[in-house]
Structure 1
Amino acid sequence: MFQFICPPMPHYIIGSEDTYPAGGKHAARSNIGVFDLIVVTRGCLYMEEDGERIDIAAGHYAILRPDRPHRTAQPCLEETHFHWLHFQTVGDWSVMDERQPFAVAEQSHPFAQIEYFPFYLPRHRRLQAPQDIAEKLRELQLLHEQPSAHFRFVRQQLFQALLLKLQEESGGAADSPYWHIAEEAALYLRKHYKDPLRYKQMAEELHFHPNYIAICMKKAFGCTPLEYLTRHRIEQAKRLLIHTNEPIGKIAEDTGFGSFPYFVRCFGKHAGRKPKKFRMQYRSAQKD
């Protein structure tokens, strides 16, 4: 599957549709610099990407890489109709067998934080509702004929909806069973971050053993539930330090840290400075 780090989101470039007769061949290309999305609605395209065979039958799609050669593996055996679309991203992307723990470097300025996240798309898959995907591709093609900035903006919005639909239709969200459990655990921790972490209570609510929840979070986010909770508490503390005049001791209490010394240690470890120094960096004057 492909992993795209967003933002920025992948962006649409151009698209159309084509029909090959029996015996027809797809053009051979090499390192074209864009992702090539192909959705077959009738017949079958027999493709090869850098030596790897990829058969795209009716109701299936495939995404060919921008940095690899691809060509016809064998001519079409029957009349074959397909939609094609070129897209690209200026963000990071990679190919992997399954979802991997994702983390980005902390932003240096809390007012400039951007929420980065990974977006996953299987490289090729059967679609549950190919007619819906084909309809969106036709809409994109019609919008491409409209040159105004307004329609270019609408076109990119529709393309993002197409990517999300592809992920849903291909079952991409269910590829890794542990991912759903990890996300449910993360939601639980964010909801209860002011309370002491009780593994038994979390396990009862999620209906999984605490050890299994910890394994899932480690695989999905690269950290244990306690580490995830601590990071979230620190982020809440940063906002309170900047946006309120609350005493640091009260902020420690309000963000779920049981003791002031423990809060100071954790904050210094994650933020690189003590809470008071962090606050003074973004406040002209402060009394604690």
Structure 2
Amino acid sequence: MRCLELTIPPLPQLLTIGHSFWPPGQQHFVRSFNVYDMLFVMQGTLYITEDDVQYEIKEGSILVLEPNLTHVGHRPCEETTEIYWIHFVHPAPVRNIDNGQIPWSVPSAKGTDHDVAPHRQVMYIPKFTSVHNLDVVPFLQRMLELHHSLSPKSSLPLQTQLAGLFVELQTALRTQYVPRSRLLCDQAIAYLQQHLTSPFDAKHMEQSLHFHFDYIARCLKKHTGMSPLQYMHDLQIRTAKALLENTDLSVSEIGLRVGIENANYFIRLFRKHTGKTPGQYRSARIGMA
């Protein structure tokens, strides 16, 4: 399934929401504008072409039309068609990506008290998919109610409902439409994060995740390019970098914090991953501050 990757913050902002029943023979007009148009079809079928790509949005489906692309109805409705539509504004997608390739569990940069701007994060929404198993209607109905009586009192709740809708869609992407190998990869990443300070134990990992270690390793390698031990080392080094940048802990103390008791081994591993010793890395970061 193709998904749109959007940079956040800020979150997408709602412009308008509507709900209507299109009679047989009605057809979408030609339009290209700088907003997203999210279409939910509850019954019937809507026929839309976006930049020469034709879609049949059947009952229980959603299509997200992207900004500045031309869309038009290439065929009229053949039966009464119930639709909700949402227009929202946001910068163009960073990319289109298959849901099986989304790095759900790859850690993002965390804010510190030294930051003066938010770190880049992303969100994902499906381009075209079924919503039969999703609980989207309560969000749509509540948004309609708030939009019809829009005031300063209801503005924030309205935008919050849109965010909730996006959470529902993204959760479905992560849990319903992801290949088993991706789910196991995410479980392996979560395990490694939880056991960061413990000695690497393939047998314990196998017992905890209830899969053979070789299969776990293949799934992790497929989606991250790293073996479990390599991924654990990568986590340790990233954590060590943050501690070097934001604390006055000694190198040996930081090694212990990331689960490496031997200070010399920690220094060698850090230099292998970064090209610098921990002390050199800290000095360089302080010099940049």
User: The TM-score by the shorter chain falls in which range?
Assistant: 0.7 to 0.9
Please report the TM-score for the alignment, with normalisation by the length of structure 2: 0.81
Q: Deviations over 1:156-176 (max 9, x none)?
A: 221111012223457764332
Q: Say whether the 8 Å CA contact 1:122–1:172 is kept in structure 2.
A: no
Of 94-103 and 223-232, more deviation after overlay is shown by 94-103
1:187–1:242 Cα change, 3 Å: same
Of 181-190 and 90-99, more deviation after overlay is shown by 90-99
Q: How does 1:83-98 map to 2 (within 5 A)?
A: 83-90=84-91, 92-98=93-99
Q: Say whether the 8 Å CA contact 1:126–1:170 is kept in structure 2.
A: no
Match of 1:124 in 2: 128
Match of 1:28 in 2: 30
Alignment of 1:57 onto 2:58: yes
1:93–1:12 Cα change, 3 Å: farther
Aligned length: 281
1:120–1:239 Cα change, 3 Å: closer
Q: Say whether the 8 Å CA contact 1:21–1:76 is kept in structure 2.
A: yes
Q: Deviations over 1:229-283 (max 9, x none)?
A: 1222123324444565543223213312253233223334555643234445678
Alignment of 1:198 onto 2:197: no
Match of 2:233 in 1: 230
Secondary structure of 1:216's aligned partner: helix
Q: Say whether the 8 Å CA contact 1:63–1:123 is kept in structure 2.
A: yes
Q: How does 1:1-288 map to 2 (within 5 A)?
A: 1-8=2-9, 9-30=11-32, 32-90=33-91, 92-100=93-101, 102=103, 111-112=114-115, 118-129=122-133, 132-144=135-147, 145-148=149-152, 151-168=154-171, 173-241=176-244, 245-270=248-273, 273-279=276-282
Q: Deviations over 1:160-198 (max 9, x none)?
A: 110122234577643322221111111111111112212
Of 258-267 and 166-175, more deviation after overlay is shown by 166-175
- Percent identity for Structure 1 against Structure 2: 27
Letter in 1 for 2:98: D
Letter in 2 for 1:151: S
Considering only aligned residues, what root-mean-square deviation do their CA atoms show, in Å?
3.3
CA shift at 1:29, angstroms?
A: 1.5
Q: Distance in 1 between matches of 2:175 and 2:52?
A: 25
Secondary structure of 2:123's aligned partner: strand
Of 204-213 and 161-170, more deviation after overlay is shown by 161-170
Q: Distance in 2 between matches of 1:171 and 1:254?
A: 31
Letter in 2 for 1:165: E
Of 239-248 and 6-15, more deviation after overlay is shown by 239-248
CA shift at 1:117, angstroms?
A: 5.0
Q: Deviations over 1:37-88 (max 9, x none)?
A: 1111232211222222211122221112224222112111122221101123
CA shift at 1:226, angstroms?
A: 2.3
Q: Say whether the 8 Å CA contact 2:251–2:278 is kept in structure 1.
A: yes
Q: Deviations over 1:206-245 (max 9, x none)?
A: 1222232223223333433223212221233244445655
Q: Distance in 2 between matches of 1:245 and 1:233?
A: 18
Q: Say whether the 8 Å CA contact 2:4–2:127 is kept in structure 1.
A: no
